[in-house]
Amino acid sequence: MNYANIKWFDVANGPGVRVSLYVSGCRNHCKNCFNPETWDFAYGKPFTREVENSIIKGMIPDYIKGFTLLGGDPFEPENQVVLAPFLERLREQFPQKSFWCFTGYDFEKDLLTGKQGDADTVMRMLACIDVLVDGRYVEALNDRNLRFRGSSNQRIILVKPSLDCDEIKLWDGSKEQ
């Protein structure tokens, strides 16, 4: 897997100061995507153990509130294989911090049905993620007033509560997840 960028002090992709990893590779190709260069799976640099270690080191300070995964698309099957064990490692190191992920895929239709990659690997990833922003970016539904979303069709899903009750629970911003 390749990655396009790491933002060490990101305040745009989840609450508080976060470390954000932009992975490469996306088949959604949303019109006027914010990061079209990340569609190419070969874009950027290889995601190595050294890169993993640098992210872990970057997560240590108390002012870092969490980790955000975006791209490209983390839920592309090629990315899942690498990201599942990394997320498990990161979650083990930082159980108190929040983990956000952005995907163009739909939580129920694509991820929970096993349509998008290996179902077990998807569930391993979801078990590490607190908040999932799902859905393709739709330019006609763009709204600059939305918090942490580009278009109004995208949802900010509380993953664990949604999985526990088999019903979508949305993040309302009242608690910093």
Q: 68 near 10, Cβ under 8 Å?
A: yes
**Model confidence band, residue 145 (pLDDT cutoffs 50, 70, 90):** confident
Q: Where are the domains of the chain?
A: 2-165
Which stretch of DSSP H or E encloses residue 82?
helix 77-93
Six-digit token string for 36: 């079209």
**What is the rounded distance in angstroms from the CA atom of residue 3 to the CA atom of residue 157?**
24
Q: pLDDT digit string (tens) for 54-95?
A: 999 999 999 999 999 999 999 999 999 999 999 999 999 999
**CATH for the stretch 2-165:** 3.20.20.70
Which residues share a beta bridge with 3? 23, 45
pTM assigned to the model: 0.94
Q: Taking residues 35-53, what's their average pLDDT?
A: 95
Q: What is the pLDDT of residue 50?
A: 98
* Nearest CA-CA partner of 66 in 38, 89, 95: 95
pLDDT of residue 115 exceeding 80, the answer is yes
**Model confidence band, residue 177 (pLDDT cutoffs 50, 70, 90):** low
Provide the 3-class DSSP secondary structure of residue 159.
helix
Provide the 3-class DSSP secondary structure of residue 133.
strand
